[in-house]
Copies of this chain bind each other. A is one copy, B any other.
Amino acid sequence: MILTTKDTIDQTKIFDQVKDDSCGAIVSFIGLVRDHNSKEKVEGIFYEAYDEMVEEILKNIEKEVFNNWNIKKFIAVHRTGYLQVGEISVMVAVSSEHRKEAFEACSYGIENIKKRCPIWKKEKTQFGNDWIEGVKINE
């Protein structure tokens, strides 16, 4: 399951969805809005995505993960819109029989979301709103 959403990401619900009786391991990564950046206090972050392209790329990442690792379920969700400190911006959860696969697939998932998904963020601090200088998208 992969998607971008404007709704709150409910980690309990995702855990229930990724769970499977045949699996002995679940590894999850949760990205949250931090209360600071390298210089100052952060109040919140606005996330904007090229949704249709993100979903294409998430589909590709999902395929790659199932091709490369023997896992049972893969969930990747990215939120858009304005998020306050402590809210979940992204979650990747993987279930598998054994833990090695789940760790590797989860890590691959989040690394590739970061590198390949057209998503942009604007931080809100007491000094205003700034688009974060990002990195060139990976093909």
Contacts and interface: CB of A to CB of B under 8 A. Distances in A.
Interface of A: 11-12, 15, 19, 21-36, 85-86, 97, 99, 102-103, 106-107, 110
A99 B103 CA distance: 13
Chain B CB within 10 Å, residue with most, of A12, A97, A103, A110 = A103
A85 B110 CA distance: 29
Contacts of A25: 29-32
A32 B23 contact: yes
A6 B5 CA distance: 38
Nearest to A33: B24
Contacts of A86: 19, 21
Contact of A27 (B11, B28, B33): B28
A34 B23 contact: yes
Nearest to A91: B26
B28 A24 contact: no
